[in-house]
Amino acid sequence: TREVEVAVSRDCVTALQPGRVLVASRNFANDATFEIKKCDLHRLEEGPPVTTVLTREDGLKYYRMMQTVRRMELKADQLYKQKIIRGFCHLCDGQEACCVGLEAGINPTDHLITAYRAHGFTFTRGLSVREILAELTGRKGGCAKGKGGSMHMYAKNFYGGNGIVGAQVPLGAGIALACKYNGKDEVCLTLYGDGAANQGQIFEAYNMAALWKLPCIFICENNRYGMGTSVERAAASTDYYKRGDFIPGLRVDGMDILCVREATRFAAAYCRSGKGPILMELQTYRYHGHSMSDPGVSYRTREEIQEVRSKSDPIMLLKDRMVNSNLASVEELKEIDVEVRKEIEDAAQFATADPEPPLEELGYHIYSSDPPFEVRGANQWIKFKSVS
């Protein structure tokens, strides 16, 4: 039973002030069981379960997190168009079930590295919206002190945001090697897109990970377009989950957070058991273009985007499940929407008011724990002090 400030009748809604609605006391279910789509398997006899239990607590948490990522990306779009955010900016709205579902399937002590569509993962790994938006606007309060921007954000056990296509995959294999070398029961989630999936360094990383049985989950976020090129035009085989050849793989509905969560739990358990690496292909979709400089409708139709929005939106799918199973009410979820919008607005205010880092800090944070030293600037007469 959800306790709130005012209870008049079972389904009563009490408006306390403009823009704020509280749901009155009501008997919700504590959990519900759902059927989820069966994963396609490669070199695996059994895959993740086809049913899963969602608790009310987890459902509300996932809903809030996905809404936060969605609203944060839409705010970034707005700030970019106002020229407050500059440079590269790749948004992940539409792909929220990937970042939230993956985090739901691992431990905080596990590791994650991804490409440059990284804002959602930065949030799910534990950083605040305020730190992320301030980093996008290049301010001191940003998670990388305003020096990283959209593609270079970091958190505990989160290794970025990487700007070079595919380059994070060998790094992810290296993090998994460190997990094994140090004897820790940890795994590394190594993400890349369908556009990077044809690169040679990916296959070199596969080979080493398989030889050394590294606890690495290679994850291809297949959003159907590498920049402006559809997967059918870029890849002779679009079965990305089979690309590891000698490495087992599974193809997952990346628009369903419960599918992603269960597949991630399955893959993590596989790696922790000492069997070596595994591949996951998440079939997902981005609503924005490749980056803010791409309108996103020159290589696909507006109707295609709208069809995905209306039939497969990850937030809508979770909302419908929760309401239809009496895990939450529409009013309660609307209240979460209001709270999320306020959080995003407050973060945007901070991100536009916070000062930029001063020039004298240009050479700071080169090393993590070294005594201060001098860095030469653009010519030999310019010197910057470097402080860890």
> What is the average per-residue pLDDT within 185-191?
98
pLDDT surpassing 80 at residue 152: yes
Question: CA triplet 268, 61, 140: central angle to 5 degrees?
Answer: 90
pLDDT per residue over 330-383, tens digit each? 999 999 999 999 999 999 999 999 999 999 999 999 998 899 999 998 898 999
CB-based contacts of 220, cutoff 8 Å, min separation 6: 191, 192, 193, 194, 197, 240, 241, 243, 279, 280, 281, 282
Distances, alpha carbon 350 to alpha carbons 59, 86, 118, 131, 357, in Å: 29, 17, 21, 9, 14
**Does residue 288 have a pLDDT over 90?**
yes
Contacts of 51 by beta carbon, 8 Å cutoff, 6+ apart: 33, 34, 35, 36
Q: Supply 319's token pair.
A: 């909302």
Query: What are the tokens at 141?
Result: 């309060």
pLDDT of 50 over the 70 cut: yes
pLDDT of residue 138: 97
At residue 21, does pLDDT exceed 90?
Answer: no
Helix (H) or strand (E) holding 211: helix 200-211
**Residue pLDDT, tens place only, 107-122:** 999 999 999 999 999 9
Query: Inter-axis angle of helices 330-353 and 129-136, to 10 degrees?
Result: 40
pLDDT at residue 15, as a whole number:
41
Confidence (pTM): 0.92
The Cα–Cα gap between 215 and 198 comes to 22
Give 12's pLDDT tier (boundaries 50, 70, 90): very low
Nearest to 39 by CA among 252, 244, 264: 252
Residues in the chain: 388
Q: List, as own/partner pairs, every contact residues 299-308 make where C-beta atoms lie below 8 angstroms and the sequence separation is at least 24, other chains included.
A: 299/225, 299/228, 299/229, 299/230, 300/225, 300/230, 308/94, 308/255
Alpha-carbon span 366 to 369, nearest angstrom? 9
Tokens 């958190």 identify what position? 155
Q: Which domains does the chain have, with CATH numbers?
A: 49-362 (3.40.50.970)
Looking at residue 25, what is its pLDDT?
57
Instruction: Identify the pLDDT of residue 26.
Output: 79
The dihedrals phi and psi of 349, each to the nearest 5 degrees, come to -60, -45
Measured CA to CA, the distance from residue 263 to residue 345 in angstroms comes to: 34
Query: What is the structure's pLDDT at 22?
Result: 52
